[in-house]
Structure 1
């Protein structure tokens, strides 16, 4: 089983509001939707981000767009005005998300 980066088969959009970050992941090719569905679970995202995401992670499936929206609460160190992180913006989380490694059959 080969290991690839999520960015090899998907692209994403991200944003933030306060201490909540969302990352949308879209399969570049519709045939990869099921692979992403299997490999990019809430549990794996929680493991990947570790202590960075302290709150709930919710995955919304959007099959009509071959995508998913992940909402991560308490993920930005309190938000832009409270965090000591260098860059708390959702865009950074989106970039990190795309570097997640997944298994491809």
Structure 2
């Protein structure tokens, strides 16, 4: 299943750092997302554009996972000629990530 089926996302930037936050539509899905949307999986998902570390911050009270991706915007907003200099489309790209179908997971 696509991540977008359980969450929505927001993007932010600072220099050459992209910040992507995903929010579970339903608070009860937060633990499932935390299990399956790891920093390693996000870095692999963006392997073509992220040259640095990806760090995940957990905000369970908001049902949110926040990912900070270093070296992710082609040199930075003010130095890049890329079409999406601020990386706002990266939130949509993250929501395309495949995660295991929740219906096929055994109950914990």
Above 0.5 in TM-score? yes
Give the secondary-structure state (helix, strand or coil) at the position aligned to 1:77.
coil
Alpha-carbon RMSD: 1.2
Gap regions ≥5 residues in structure 2: none
In structure 1, how many angstroms separate the alpha carbons of the residues matched to 2:74 and 2:89? 13
Note if 1:14 corresponds to 2:8: no
Q: 2:49 aligns with which of 45, 49, 52?
A: 52
Structure with bigger strand share is 1
TM-score normalised over the length of structure 2: 0.88
Moved over 3 A (4+): none
Which one has more relative contact order, counting CA pairs under 8 Å at least 6 apart? 1
User: Max radius of gyration: which structure?
Assistant: 2
> Structure 1: which 5+ runs fail to align?
none
Distance 2:48 2:69 in 1: 12
Q: CA deviation at 1:95?
A: 1.3
Q: How many residues align?
A: 102
* Residue 94 (structure 2) pairs with residue 97 (structure 1): yes
> Retained in 2: the 8 A contact 1:23–1:90?
no
